[in-house]
Amino acid sequence: MLQSGEIDYAWNLQVEDEILVRLETGGKGRANIIPGGDIEFIQFNFTDPWTEVDGERSSLKTKHPILTDPAVREAFALLVDRASIQQFIYGRTGIATANFVNNPSRFRSAANKFEFNIDKANQILDKAGWAKGTDGIRAKDGKKLKFVYQTSVNQPRQKTQAIVKQAAQKAGIDLELKAITASVFFSSDFANPDVYTKLFSDIQMYTTTMTQPDPELFMNQYVSWEMSTKENKWQGRNVTRWRSDEYDKAYRAAQVELDPVKRAALFIRMNDLVIQDRAIVPVVARPRVRASNLKLKVPESGWDSDFWALQDWYREA
């Protein structure tokens, strides 16, 4: 579309920003960066994907043998170089972030900061008793820090995987990178073991979309009754199977809270719980990327003022 101008509109361009910039110089079309609440993030599996119980992998009757150690999750979060991922891969199309909820601004927490620090990750793992072996991989109680890290096939995601793998090696963590065809990874074919809602790996990464400005639906991805299991045909939205009674309580309170300030505070608390327990690692907040032919014009009036406020936030970030 950007090269020939023969198409008027294209949806969801997930390619490196440098490619978009280069194609825009051809004068046929432009990329439209539309602020929103989508997030590219890394998930940890809190169940064991390698052990079957009653014919089910990642069963709620199991616990992950390593990732349930908070020190491992804390160290891993320090090995994700979010600033470089934004600078060298996503550019305008992905803003490094420490939060799961990034927009609208009234729901955004100010309590979290991201950091890339390999030395600090090593110190955390040393203190937790994960010692490096002769092969450079850390181990404790006969368990090695070796994980399968999966995502869908596209260049930004494979490049992100490579960045994380390189840093993890320096901390004594071995990552096996797995790339799954997107039509399989995001499919509803629940007979396929590679569907993302099964999370039959240790770690995975993708973008979850925020379809409305209110975060209630978005934040049900961590409530206990939404855990994805064989019983609900892997359709539960809590793919990590992380559980927090405090999170559940805050979510139910937000469902009936009428005061908008108090309700926003509840969602901010939920964000902080899932972030500070390292159930996930946010990577970049992803505005939606569309492309349009230069013949198409964007109206200059009638847009909601909050849209332009979000534009300013992304520009500053």
Cβ atoms of 107 and 101 within 8 Å: the answer is yes
pLDDT tens per residue across span 45-95: 999 999 999 889 999 999 999 999 999 999 999 999 999 999 999 999 999
pLDDT tens per residue across span 26-39: 888 888 888 899 99
pLDDT tens per residue across span 117-172: 999 999 999 999 999 999 999 999 999 999 999 999 999 999 999 999 999 999 99
Collapsing DSSP to helix, strand or coil, 160 comes out as helix
What kind of fold does domain 9-212+279-297 have according to CATH? Dipeptide-binding Protein; domain 3 (3.10.105)
Nearest-angstrom CA–CA distance, 308 and 299: 13
Nearest-angstrom CA–CA distance, 317 and 312: 9
For helices 155-170 and 118-127, the axis angle rounded to 10 degrees is 50
Burial class (CB in 10 A: 0-12, 13-18, 19+), 154: middle
Residue at token pair 């160290």: 75
Helix (H) or strand (E) holding 308: helix 305-316
Among 161, 148, 191, residue whose Cα is nearest residue 50: 148
Beta bridge partners of 174: 146
Nearest-angstrom CA–CA distance, 259 and 280: 29
Nearest-angstrom CA–CA distance, 183 and 3: 25
Rg (CA), the chain: 20
DSSP one-letter code for 107: G
Pairing of strands 146-152, 143-144: unpaired
Among 55, 56, 118, 52, residue whose Cα is nearest residue 84: 118
Q: Give residue 18's region: left, alpha or beta (phi > 0; psi -120 to 50).
A: alpha
Collapsing DSSP to helix, strand or coil, 117 comes out as coil
**Rounded percentage of the chain residues whose pLDDT exceeds 70:** 94
Q: Give the predicted TM-score (pTM) of the model.
A: 0.90
At 81 the pLDDT is: 98
> What is the mean pLDDT of the segment spanning 93-105?
96
Band of pLDDT at residue 309, cut at 50, 70 and 90: low
